[in-house]
Structure 1
Amino acid sequence: MNENKIFLEGLSFFAFHGLHEEEAKLGQRFIIDLTCWADFEKATTSDNYEDTICYGTLAKTVEDVVTNSRFNLLERLAGAICEAVFAMDQRISKINVKVNKPSAPVPVHTGGFGVEVTRARPTNTR
């Protein structure tokens, strides 16, 4: 079996996530990297758009979660992104999402703090 991945790197959004009241009021930038494992092997030979997953739709799905929701924890934001991406396209079997908060309110100079979550598509257990 071939392993196929689509990835989006450096998606940047202004949003209002965080534990502190100031973060909810002022907002800040969040950087998202997304990798999706999916069966789009047919697209590697067909060159047909319908045989792959639209990068633009993936980016819009992430944007909707990041900018239209509010979470205290980066971990929950990452989980919500995974849930939305799985709902977007049934061909996606696994997701890795990195959420970076470059302006976290901590007294240490850094390039950012973040989380990384990897999830396989949940299976029905009925």
Structure 2
Amino acid sequence: MGQLKQTVALKDVKCFALHGYYPEEQLIGNHFIVDLVTEFSPKGFDDDLNQTVNYEDLNTIILSEMKNTQKLLETVLNNMISKVLNLYPFVETINVSIKKLNPPMPGQIGHSFVKLTYTSAD
């Protein structure tokens, strides 16, 4: 029999934040959408929250890092990955992405997009 993989995720978390490379972006802010997806081998299915990833914790991580103004979205995402791994070292894969809605540049742009993927060495 094959191995089970479990996914716990939050998708389309909407935030307003002050991230941006340029000083004016850090003053006026922007709207963002964050996805955070974890994958791991389940320890069991006995209704014990300690045997899984609590998506309330994922939400707390997203919201705290979105309040922590950074120039680069890559930094924000890397910080999120570090916090997830600190809480849940058994997680094997993390995909975290962020969309900056209507980035301030010429043209009509729906969103910019940055994604980081962590994969354990095991």
TM-score normalised per structure 2: 0.87
Partner of 1:8: 10
SS of equivalent residue, structure 2 residue 79: helix
Give the alignment of 1:1-126 within 5 angstroms.
1-43=3-45, 46-67=46-67, 69-121=68-120
CA RMSD of the aligned region, Å?
A: 1.7
Return the alpha-carbon distance in structure 1 between the equivalents of residues 80 and 51 of structure 2: 23
Return the alpha-carbon distance in structure 1 between the equivalents of residues 7 and 43 of structure 2: 10
Kept after mapping to 2: 8 A contact 1:37/1:93? yes
Give the number of aligned pairs.
120
Return the alpha-carbon distance in structure 2 between the equivalents of residues 122 and 59 of structure 1: 26
Q: Which runs of 5+ in 1 are unaligned?
A: none
Return the alpha-carbon distance in structure 1 between the equivalents of residues 61 and 103 of structure 2: 24
Q: Please report how far the alpha carbon of residue 38 of structure 1 lies from its aligned counterpart in structure 2 after TM superposition.
A: 1.9
SS of equivalent residue, structure 1 residue 92: coil
Kept after mapping to 1: 8 A contact 2:93/2:117? yes
Q: Which runs of 5+ in 2 are unaligned?
A: none
Return the alpha-carbon distance in structure 2 between the equivalents of residues 79 and 49 of structure 1: 25
Kept after mapping to 1: 8 A contact 2:31/2:100? yes
